[in-house]
Structure formats: C-alpha cells, structure tokens
Homo-oligomer: A and B are copies of this chain.
Amino acid sequence: MEPALGTWEAIDTLRTVRAFADRPLEGWALERILNAGRRAGSSKNLQRWAFIVCRDRDHLRELSTTGPWAGHLAGAAVAVALVSPDPRAEGAPLSIAFDLGRAAQNMVLAAWELGIGSAPATIYEHQRAGDLLGIPPEMHFEYLLSFGYPAEPAVLSAPNRAGGRRPLAELVHEERW
C-alpha cells in the first residue's frame, strides 16, 4: 500500500516540492507526519513544540502572503506551523530551534516515504501570521511547512541536481578544524 522507502534513500532523494496536486492527504498519512515530528528527540526530552495544522484553502492563501517566498502555502494540501517558546528570549537555549529542526526533518522524511512533498516557509510578517493562527504572545513561530502530493510526480524520482550541495571534502575536518 505504501511505497516503503529505505531511510538513506529517503534522505538522499528528498527534494523541496513547491507545486502540489489538488488532492488532500489521507488522514492516516497526515497523522504519521505529525507523529514523526512528535517522536523527535529533544534536549532533556522537553518537546518544546506544538503544531498547528491548516487545511482551509482561504486560510492557506492568507498565510501564503506572510513571507516573500511563502507562495507555495496557497496550494498545499496541509500546512503545519511549528510553534515553540521564543528562541530569541533572553537566555533561551539554542536547542529550541535545533530541536525544532530535528522534528521538521522527521516530518518531511516521513512524508517523502509516502510520496508526499514538502517545502518550508519562513514567516516575515510575524504579527499578521500570528494573528491568523491565534498564536499566544508568549509563543513564537518562524516556520510553516507545506505538504502535499507533488503536481509533477516525476520529482519523486528525479536525479540529484549537480552542484546542489557542497562536497564532503569542503565540510569535513579530521580531529581538528
């Protein structure tokens, strides 16, 4: 029923999808994506995150106007807002944003195994986006993830773009910098 994808294969083939088919996500698929985020490890197991699931088309369209590169939200089957305590508050640890990244990666990989694409959107108009989502003033959100079946299914098996990532030799040091 589901195209089980090996873990490395999912990591290696994952790419950003910004154009989505007009097809909803099955309830169990969405639940798995959310559970993937929920299952992520976090500093001291604090799990400082909450997810707002948006499916209403008008709501998605409004959200898509809160950042200059957030247009893909308008056509997503589902958008998930990643909400956390304010990572910029005085004394806030780096692990708030780091852990949110771990949860997000779990979500996009779990989706990809199911043939569901995703793209992150960074919110620029925090006040307006926060109002649209009813975020409490003490909470923060910076990212929305779009999910949906790709408009072009060929993207699921497209080869990696040459030059898309820096080579290992540029990134890796042995024992010391």
Residues of A within 8 A of B (CB): 4-12, 14, 16, 31-32, 34-41, 43, 45, 47, 49-56, 59, 83, 87-88, 94-106, 108-110, 112-113, 120, 122, 132-136, 139, 142-143, 164-166, 168, 171-177
Does B133 contact A176, Cβ atoms closer than 8 Å? yes
CB distance from A78 to the nearest CB of B (A): 11
**Contacting residue for A168 out of B35, B45, B54, B134, CB 8 A:** B35
Cα A132 to Cα B55 in complex, Å, equals: 49
The residue in chain B whose Cβ has the minimal distance to the Cβ of A82 is B98
The residue in chain B whose Cβ has the minimal distance to the Cβ of A4 is B6
Does A8 contact B110, Cβ atoms closer than 8 Å? yes
Cα A59 to Cα B51 in complex, Å, equals: 40
Residues from chain B with a CB closer than 8 A to the CB of A16 are 41
Cα A103 to Cα B35 in complex, Å, equals: 19
CB distance from A114 to the nearest CB of B (A): 8
